[in-house]
Amino acid sequence: MALIEALNIKKYFPTQGGHLVKAVDDVSFSIASGETVGMVGESGCGKSTIGRVIMNLIEPTDGRLLYDDRNIYELAKAERRALRRKMGIVFQDPYSSLNPRMNVLQIVGEPLTVHRKLRGARLREEVVRLLEQVGLKPEHINRYPHQFSGGQRQRIGIARALALGPKFLILDEPTSALDVSVQAQVLNLIKKLQAAQDLTYLFITHDLNVVRHIADRVMVMYLGKLVEEGSVIDIFKRPLHPYTQALLSANPKIDPNLRGERTLLEGDVPSPADPPPGCSFHTRCPIAEDQCRKIEPELRLVSDRRISCHLV
Ligand code: SF4
């Protein structure tokens, strides 16, 4: 059963020049309870904006968001706040996402003080329990962010995200600021916590190796739109959308057999304030045809995956 359902989510930002930046343009998906869904794409494709819309950090321009079948935007304020506690977010950069003037007790304990009114010994006890869950020690409680390594700081961020006992976590590039060896430790922790606490994840990243390691399903975004979605096994074995093919072939670590047939993506991602007509990928697609420049392909079901391309 779906825990999260995003239906036709749009998020447009007006620019000073009178244009609209379509950061997210009519994106729908669902995430089942206990599942890990990876969301990939180059920077500016809208994946982090989707994360912030789901977390209620920004309002969408249009669309519906269901949590456990309840439309978040139709809930009263108090209900919305209660629902918000069932979701957590871990940000990319543990260096800037933790307040340098707060110690670990204050950082991890803040949501517990605000939402559960915990204070004193009870608060300390709960923070120590959270620190131990993420592999930190009780004596870390009085230290400040600058006294930790990058991996430890990310563990503090995860402990804070877990403070209110969420069911759903958004992990927004949680390992991309870390060294490779530390990345693996943090990914293993994320997997271990999921198994122990029955968590559901949306894992946002540009790193395909990470998605293959951690996700059950993957959604590929391009210029604010979902262009391909399917199981990790299917998509990594046989990507169908030309953009997914290019992303995978640009990363030979994924499959050494693909080394001989690399598709290099030429040019930059077009501006979302002025997206190309037709298929938004046509300016970089190696197999674009005439119709691609005029008609926008629909996202449709092909076998077990969704894909938007005229030629698939
Ligand atoms: Fe390429 Fe055309 Fe498919 Fe777009 S619709 S991905 S331009 S082939």
Q: Which residue has the higher pLDDT, 43 or 184?
A: 184
How far apart CA 200 and CA 166 sit, in angstroms, is 9
81: pLDDT confidence band, cut at 50, 70 and 90? Answer: confident
Residues ≥6 apart with Cβ < 8 Å to 76: none
Residues ≥6 apart with Cβ < 8 Å to 16: none
Ligand 1 nearest-atom number relative to CA 286 = 1
Q: Whose CA is nearest to atom 6 of ligand 1?
A: 309
Average pLDDT, the chain: 91
> Does residue 311 carry a pLDDT above 80?
yes
Q: Is the pTM of this model over 0.85?
A: yes
Q: Whose CA is nearest to atom 5 of ligand 1?
A: 309
* 208 Cα: distance to centroid of ligand 1 (angstroms): 21
Cα–Cα nearest to 2, from 162, 181, 200, 153:
200
pLDDT digits (tens, 9 = 90+) for 206-218: 889 899 999 999 9
* 119 Cα: distance to centroid of ligand 1 (angstroms): 57
As for ligand 1, residues whose beta carbon falls within 6 Å of it are: 242, 279, 281-282, 285, 287-288, 292, 297, 309-311
> Does residue 258 carry a pLDDT above 70?
no
Question: Tokens representing 93?
Answer: 């950069």
> Does residue 68 carry a pLDDT above 80?
yes
The yes or no reply on domain 2-307 and CATH 3.40.50.620 is: no
60: pLDDT confidence band, cut at 50, 70 and 90? Answer: very high
Q: Whose CA is nearest to atom 7 of ligand 1?
A: 282
- To which residue do tokens 């978040």 refer? 72
Q: Which of 282, 299, 300 to mutate to test the pocket of ligand 1 (most atoms within 8 A of CB)?
A: 282
The values of phi and psi at residue 228, to 5°, are -155, 140
The values of phi and psi at residue 71, to 5°, are -75, 115
What's the whole-number mean pLDDT along residues 173-200?
93
Task: Decide: residue 234, CB within 10 A, 0-12 exposed, 13-18 middle, 19+ buried.
Answer: middle
How far apart CA 39 and CA 29 sit, in angstroms, is 11
> Does residue 244 carry a pLDDT above 80?
yes
pLDDT digits (tens, 9 = 90+) for 112-133: 999 999 999 999 999 999 999 9
Beta bridge partners of 172: 204
- To which residue do tokens 């009870």 refer? 122
> Does residue 241 carry a pLDDT above 90?
yes
> Does residue 260 carry a pLDDT above 70?
no
DSSP of the chain, one letter per residue?
A: -EEEEEEEEEEEEE-TTS-EEEEEEEEEEEEETT-EEEEE-STTSSHHHHHHHHTTSS--SEEEEEETTEEGGGS-HHHHHHHHTTEEEE-S-TTTSS-TTS-HHHHHHHHHHHHH---HHHHHHHHHHHHHHTT--GGGGG--GGGS-HHHHHHHHHHHHHTT--SEEEEESTTTTS-HHHHHHHHHHHHHHHHHHT-EEEEE-S-HHHHHHH-SEEEEEETTEEEEEEEHHHHHHS--SHHHHHHHHT-TTT-GGGGGG--PPPSPPPPTTSPPSSSTTTTT-TT--HHHHHSPPP-EEETTEEE--TT-
Q: What pLDDT does 94 receive?
A: 67
* 54 Cα: distance to centroid of ligand 1 (angstroms): 29
Q: What pLDDT does 268 receive?
A: 80
Q: Which of 226, 281, 283, 290 to mutate to test the pocket of ligand 1 (most atoms within 8 A of CB)?
A: 281
